[in-house]
Amino acid sequence: MNTKTDSPMRDLLILLSMTFALGLVAVSSASHAQIGFPGEEQEAAASDGELDQSLEGTIERGKLVYDSKCTFCHRADGMGVPGAFPPLVVGAKFDADPKIVDPLVALGLYKDGAMTAGTVDVQIDVVLNGITGTRMFAFKEQISTQEVADVVTYIRNAWGNDSGELVKPEQVEAVATN
């Protein structure tokens, strides 16, 4: 009978193969984490607080938001659509129905037939809450506080707009809670 001498060896083999299997699991989950699912990386970056907070980095992120959410109406060059969607380029001429123009005048974003810079807070508010009674709708349910900061930074520094202003998420939060 050799079962007595056999079984410690078998135990050892089982132990070794289990260790090996665990090792495989560890390796495969590590490589999975490295590859990541789409969107995972961005979330991780945001929660790590590792976002590039420089003006250039913020403008770059803001362009991505703008290109996916705003170009349909305001166009890639920020010039909008005559009579319908206003340019975001400061100084650009715009002519439209009073229904469209009057709210812009009231917000300090339009004067004497042309777009004006307005203030950061007003533009943050417009992006968060839209402009009532117009086709500019509220984005606060669609994009994050950080993305509002990024896109407002972008529109104030693109197409020759050169405010040099860097909008922080804290400023967006302040406008949102006012």
Among positions 81-110, residues that touch ligand HEC (CB under 6 A) are 85-86, 88, 100, 103-104, 109
Query: What is the smallest separation between the CB atom of 109 and ligand HEC, expressed in angstroms?
Result: 4
Q: How many residues does the chain have?
A: 178
State the DSSP string of 77-144: TS--BTTTB---STT-B----HHHHHHHHHTTSEETTEE----HHHHHHHHHH--TTSS----TTTS-
Query: What is the smallest separation between the CB atom of 81 and ligand HEC, expressed in angstroms?
Result: 9
Among positions 19-58, residues that touch ligand HEC (CB under 6 A) are none
140 binds ligand HEC (CB under 6 A): no
127 binds ligand HEC (CB under 6 A): yes
- Residue type, position 153, single letter: T
Instruction: Report phi then psi at 124, rounded to 5.
Output: -60, -45
Nearer to ligand HEC, 32 or 135 (CB): 135
Query: What is the smallest separation between the CB atom of 89 and ligand HEC, expressed in angstroms?
Result: 8
The answer to whether 131 and 108 have CB atoms below 8 angstroms apart is no
Q: At what angle do helices 145-155 and 55-69 cross, to 10 degrees?
A: 100
73 binds ligand HEC (CB under 6 A): yes
120 binds ligand HEC (CB under 6 A): no
Footprint of ligand HEC on this chain (CB under 6 A)?
69-70, 72-74, 85-86, 88, 100, 103-104, 109, 115, 118, 123, 126-127, 131, 134-136, 139, 151, 155
